[in-house]
Structure 1
Amino acid sequence: MKKSVIIGGNTYNLTSPTIKGITLAGKCLGDIPNKNDIYEILNEKDKETLCNTLSYFIAGDLSLAKRLSKGDKKEVVEAIKIIIVDFIQPILLRASLMAKNVSLMAAKPKL
């Protein structure tokens, strides 16, 4: 699934990020406070950090960070939210379910 966003007048295609991109973006975001609202979490970060994070998600490096910084912070936050909610979260839920099923195959609980 692909989605497109417009940031600073440029269109960016959002797809599922690579493992490398997810890892680098996670390091870039740093500690994430324990809050329920993703907008609240992302809005606490400065614009440069958000642009770097989005660049890691899209390109796997910082090659887009400067162009992304020309956009509005709201546009960058929305794009990161789309990537997390629409691409990363479903993968993590599937991985969690697979891990549970594997653990049940390895050691079935006694009833």
Structure 2
Amino acid sequence: MKKSVIIGGNTYNLTSPTIKGITLAGKCLGDIPNKNDIYEILNEKDKDTLCDTLSYFIAGDLSLAKRLSKGDKKEVVEAIKIIIVDFIQPILLRASLMAKNVSLMAAKPKL
């Protein structure tokens, strides 16, 4: 599944990020406060950090960070939210379900 966003007048195609991109973006974001709303979490971060994070998600490196910084902070936050909610979250949910199923196969609970 692909989605497109416009940031600073440029169009970016959003696809599922690589493991490397997710790892680097996570390191870039640093500590995440314990909040329920993704907008609150992202809005607490400065724009440069968000642009670096989005560049890691899209390109796997910082090659897009400078161009992304020409856009609005709201545009960058929305793009990161789309990547997390539409691409990363479903993968993590599937992985969690698979891990649960494997653990049940390995050690069936006594009833």
Spell out, residue by residue over 1:45-74, the C-alpha distance to the aligned partner (whole angstroms, 9 max, x if none).
000000000000000000000000000000
Number of the residue aligned with 2:72: 72
Counterpart CA distance in 1 for 2:92 and 2:36 is: 17
Q: How many angstroms does 1:36 deviate by?
A: 0.2
Q: Secondary structure at the match of 1:36?
A: coil
Counterpart CA distance in 1 for 2:104 and 2:94 is: 15
Q: How many angstroms does 1:80 deviate by?
A: 0.0
Alignment root-mean-square deviation, CA: 0.1
Percent identical? 98
Q: How many angstroms does 1:77 deviate by?
A: 0.1
Spell out, residue by residue over 1:6-63, the C-alpha distance to the aligned partner (whole angstroms, 9 max, x if none).
0000000000000000000000000000000000000000000000000000000000
Count of residue pairs brought into register by the alignment: 111
Counterpart CA distance in 2 for 1:17 and 1:37 is: 22
Any unmatched runs of 5+ in structure 1?
A: none
Counterpart CA distance in 2 for 1:105 and 1:31 is: 35
Number of the residue aligned with 2:27: 27
Q: Secondary structure at the match of 2:16?
A: coil
Number of the residue aligned with 2:41: 41
Any unmatched runs of 5+ in structure 2?
A: none
Counterpart CA distance in 2 for 1:47 and 1:62 is: 14
Q: Secondary structure at the match of 2:5?
A: strand
Counterpart CA distance in 2 for 1:40 and 1:103 is: 35
Q: TM-score, normalised by structure 2?
A: 1.00
Counterpart CA distance in 2 for 1:49 and 1:107 is: 43
Q: TM-score, normalised by structure 1?
A: 1.00
